[in-house]
Amino acid sequence: MISTSFNQPHLRFPSLTHEKNTNHLRPNRNRFIPRIRIPPNSSLECNCRRENRFSDPGRQGNNKRPDLSVRYATAECLTAAISEPGLLGDRLRVLVSEFGSLTEPLDRVRRLLDYAGRLPPFDESSRVESNRVGGCTTQVWLEVELDEEGNARFRADSDSEITKGFISCLVWLLDGAAPEEVAAVEAEDLEVMNVGFNGRTPSRVKTWHNVLAAMQKRALALSNKKKRKMKKKPLIVPPILPLIVAAEALAGNLPNSQVVDHI
Amino acid sequence: MMMMEGVALKFPPLKLFNPNFPTSPATTVTPSLARFALRSFSSSSSSCSASLPISATAGKEADSALGTLSLGHLTRPDFPILHQEVNGSKLVYLDNAATSQKPHQVLKALQSYYAGYNSNVHRGIHYLSAKATDQYELARKKVADFINAEESQEIVFTRNATEAINLVAYSWGISNLKPGDEVLLTVAEHHSAIVPWQLVAQRTGAVLRFVDLDENEVPEVEKLRESISRKTKLVVVHHVSNVLASFLPIKHIARWVHDVGGKILVDACQSVPHIVVDVQELDADFLVASSHKMCGPTGIGFLYAKSDILSAMPPFLGGGEMISDVFLDHSTYADPPSRFEAGTPAIGEAIGLGAAIDYLQGIGMQKIHDYETELANYLYESLSTIPNVRIYGPRPSEKVKRAALCSFNVEDVHPTDLATLLDQQHGVAIRSGHHCAQPLHRYLGVNASARASLHFYNTKDDVDDFINALSETVSFLNSFK
């Protein structure tokens, strides 16, 4: 059984009314931070000197790797871009393990709300229609770019705190990964993140499925465009091209009728 | 039986007031007598009127003797679905504007149909078919009587109100609207009342005009009146708003539009289940409603239209049942309502709707309206105590009545987060989103809202549970900011 420090009984459970100032946990993140090389099979736990509420206080200052079969992410590690193949897989396992260990639905919500607070600020000017992710009950904005190495970089935001939590996890998971790696993540892999009693509340599932699908679609589109431009190769048809029914595609304008402005 | 005992155990000893002996003292009854009283209320069959326990019909004096035994308390035992736990908490169902729950009389009617006499209607001559046809047409008559239509033939069964509006749009609209004709709506209309007319306007060249809200967040009735002209061929308005909880003066609007030779289509989805609706008094040309919002099954709704209008309308859907004679190159069509009921209808569901109407009639729509007005005020006042809450629609007063629903937002809290936690932690079912009224939300300057909506089987206890849960949830979410 995979356990995390979170399950260890001697740790205090984060309370509902925790300190409001979580700035010390917010990553100081630029858009394109240098990739942090993390050796294979190493713990994703950084030698983080800052206090992290999910770390074991008994081991603070002790650099010994905990005898755990899972490595949990710390605040600073959440900021580190993926630098090596296989790291996305590691992060996925961490995420699944972390949320999978939270058997109480409220704990998953708390965790998501905490991660929501760690999402980097999103420019107000980027909250535009072209950045919207369709099909969500909440508003979600997503910006995708490729860095110099052709890896996908994501920035996202939402008007819902729980959705921001989902987004925060997704960005942590996928930021800096190759577009093909991004496309390979299956929504089912992340089911444990769902909130709700049985974890399958359709509208919630739909929201972050849509966000994941949008991240995949846009990353692949950028990658294909870049490849076409640079290498003039035939268009690579991505294996996964999620269907997002764009409202715009189906919206009917009224070419023959004139909707009079509001009376 | 188990359910009834469970309900009875929750009540304190009942004191029943007998109106036949107004001077007799209130009598304390045992739980077994309470069960009898409750069972006798709910024992009505689909073909006879239910009678309330005498306490419920005896007026204020009896109410005070009864204490907290409201219409909600009296009717809850009839709704099996309400007596369950969700996510570890007692279910508090406050999403009735989306769909209502069904009393066991309706469930029984459905069961009886499918178990006893399921058969295709109108065509067969055997016993089962004859019985099914009789019951189906009886359901049509019940709907007609419920809204005081002149005759049953003015009721067309559809899948729901949305299909009914589409029927009017594609049948009446396509053949009557010309370029430049105006269809008048409000920004508060449901998508089902807007989109069909957008589609028809594209094809006919008609123009859609939308009336905004006034400072009380009600469609501006005077502006609506001023906008009606000789070009106005149709006014499409809600009777009761599913977001604002406001009422529109349909009778007056109908008169204004008739004066210019136009017609009115009333979306009565939120009114038929909750208040007395009389199409003669309203003088509606078209009126639509859905069964599933009025304690009936899903899959059935109806269009009411005046018989002279209906007779002149071409078919909507083509197929069996709506024809008179079929040749290879043409067909002739049946008279209404059959002309608009192509294919095998939702027979069992129509019969279930009939049973729902019997149930509602047994309580009395005026009684339901009075009780829900009380609930509406209680909900509004209770919700207003939540800090930073914004409730949409008019403030209730002596002159201004609200339906028993509140769409609202809490500052800096997304309604979907609220609804998620209310469900997950407290078993409270509300709705969040745009409630099929995106233009209205855009007008109000919000992307989404939460909505709690009540029906006569809800109680003030439900409202209290909701408010307590909401308060806790808001505090929890705010603690993360």
pTM for the full model? Answer: 0.77
Residue of A109, A117, A257 lying closest to B421 (CB–CB): A109
Q: CA A6, A97, A150, A116 torsion: positive or negative?
A: negative
**Six-digit token string for B175:** 């053949």
Contact B121, B345 (CB under 8 A): yes
- β-strand pairing of B92-93 with B428-429: parallel
**Splitting chain A (263 residues) into consecutive groups of 10 residues, what average pLDDT does each group show?**
33 33 38 35 37 35 35 41 67 88 89 92 91 86 94 95 92 93 87 59 69 94 88 63 49 45 57
Query: Which residue type sits at A32?
Result: F
Quote the pLDDT of residue B19.
Answer: 38
Neighbours of A220 (CB within 10 A): 22
More confident residue, B194 or A249: B194
Quote the pLDDT of residue A88.
Answer: 85
Quote the pLDDT of residue A241.
Answer: 53
Neighbours of B320 (CB within 10 A): 13
Three-class SS state of A152:
strand
Q: What are phi and psi of A262, to 5 degrees?
A: -55, 140
For B134, residues 6+ apart whose C-beta sits below 8 A from its C-beta are: none
Cα–Cα distance for residue pair A107/B393, rounded to 1 Å = 36
**Six-digit token string for B111:** 């069961």
- β-strand pairing of B286-290 with B301-305: antiparallel
Query: Is the pLDDT confidence value at B398 over 80?
Result: yes
DSSP B322-342: SEEEE-SS-EEEPPTTGGG--
Query: Is the pLDDT confidence value at B194 over 80?
Result: yes
Query: Is the pLDDT confidence value at B74 over 70?
Result: yes
Quote the pLDDT of residue A233.
Answer: 56
Quote the pLDDT of residue A86.
Answer: 73
**Six-digit token string for B291:** 């069964």
Quick one: average pLDDT of B147-172? 98
Q: Report the gap between the CA of A9 and the closest CA in chain B (Å).
A: 24
- β-strand pairing of B449-453 with B431-433: antiparallel
In the block, tokens 């007779």 appear at: B311
Question: If residue A231 lies in a helix (H) or strand (E), which one and from where to where?
Answer: helix A202-231
Question: If residue B41 lies in a helix (H) or strand (E), which one and from where to where?
Answer: helix B31-41
Q: Considering only CB atoms, which residues of chain B are within 8 Å of chain A?
A: 86-88, 179, 187, 198-199, 201-203, 205-212, 220, 223-224, 227, 413-414, 416-417, 420-421, 423-425, 432-433, 443, 447-448, 476-477, 479-481
Quote the pLDDT of residue B67.
Answer: 57
Quick one: average pLDDT of B127-141? 95
Cα–Cα distance for residue pair B228/B258, rounded to 1 Å = 10
Q: Chain B contacts of A18, Cβ < 8 Å? A: 479-480
Quote the pLDDT of residue B69.
Answer: 87
Give the helix, strand, coil percentages of chain A, each rounded to 5. Answer: 40, 5, 55
Neighbours of A242 (CB within 10 A): 15
Contact B131, B112 (CB under 8 A): no
ipTM of predicted complex: 0.76
- Is residue A136 among the annotated active site residues? yes
For A202, residues 6+ apart whose C-beta sits below 8 A from its C-beta are: none
In the block, tokens 């188990």 appear at: B2
Quick one: average pLDDT of B321-328? 90
For B131, what's the count of Cα atoms within 13 Å in the CB-facing half-sphere? 12
Chain A interface test: which of B85, B232, B414, B447 (most A C-beta within 10 Å): B414
Contact B218, B244 (CB under 8 A): yes
**Six-digit token string for A84:** 């090596």
Query: Which residue type sits at A46?
Result: C
Contact check, Cβ <8 Å, A252/B476? no
Contact B441, B447 (CB under 8 A): yes
Quote the pLDDT of residue A200.
Answer: 55
Lowest mean pLDDT among A104-113, B148-157, B253-262: A104-113
Quote the pLDDT of residue A238.
Answer: 64
Contact check, Cβ <8 Å, A196/B448? no
Quote the pLDDT of residue A262.
Answer: 58
The separation between the first and the last C-alpha atoms of chain A, rounded to the nearest angstrom, is 65
Quote the pLDDT of residue A32.
Answer: 31
Three-class SS state of B234:
strand
Lowest mean pLDDT among A128-137, B21-30, B181-190: B21-30
Query: Is the pLDDT confidence value at B426 over 50?
Result: yes
Left, alpha or beta for B170 (phi > 0: left; psi -120 to 50: alpha)? alpha
* CB-based burial label for B364 (10 Å; 0-12, 13-18, 19+): middle
Q: Give CA angle at A20 (A17, A25), nearest 5°.
A: 115
More confident residue, A80 or B450: B450
Quote the pLDDT of residue B53.
Answer: 40
Query: Which residue type sits at A104?
Result: E
Paired residues of B302 in beta bridges: B157, B289
Neighbours of B86 (CB within 10 A): 16
In the block, tokens 């169902």 appear at: B93
Cα–Cα distance for residue pair A209/B203, rounded to 1 Å = 37
Question: If residue A229 lies in a helix (H) or strand (E), which one and from where to where?
Answer: helix A202-231
Three-class SS state of A30:
coil
Contact B71, B363 (CB under 8 A): yes
Lowest mean pLDDT among A40-44, B39-43, B272-276, B343-347: A40-44
**Six-digit token string for A114:** 């905490």
Paired residues of B263 in beta bridges: B234
Quote the pLDDT of residue A202.
Answer: 57
Quick one: average pLDDT of B193-211? 98
Contact check, Cβ <8 Å, B424/A109? yes
Residue of A139, A161, A255 lying closest to B447 (CB–CB): A139
Three-class SS state of A262:
coil
Size of the A and B interface in Cβ pairs below 8 Å:
101
Which of the residues of B are catalytic?
A: 436
Cα–Cα distance for residue pair B306/B287, rounded to 1 Å = 9
Contact B444, B199 (CB under 8 A): no
Short-list B116, B118, B139, B114, CA closest to B129: B118
Query: Is the pLDDT confidence value at B180 over 80?
Result: yes
Short-list B11, B110, B14, CA closest to B54: B14
Neighbours of B70 (CB within 10 A): 20
Task: List, for residues B57-66, the tens digit of each pLDDT value.
Answer: 444 444 444 5
Quick one: average pLDDT of B25-33? 40
Contact check, Cβ <8 Å, A138/B205? no
Considering chain B, what is the average pLDDT of its residues?
89
Residue of B187, B201, B425 lying closest to A106 (CB–CB): B425
Report CA dihedral (A176, A181, A186, A190) to the nearest 10 degrees.
-30
Cα–Cα distance for residue pair B59/B246, rounded to 1 Å = 27
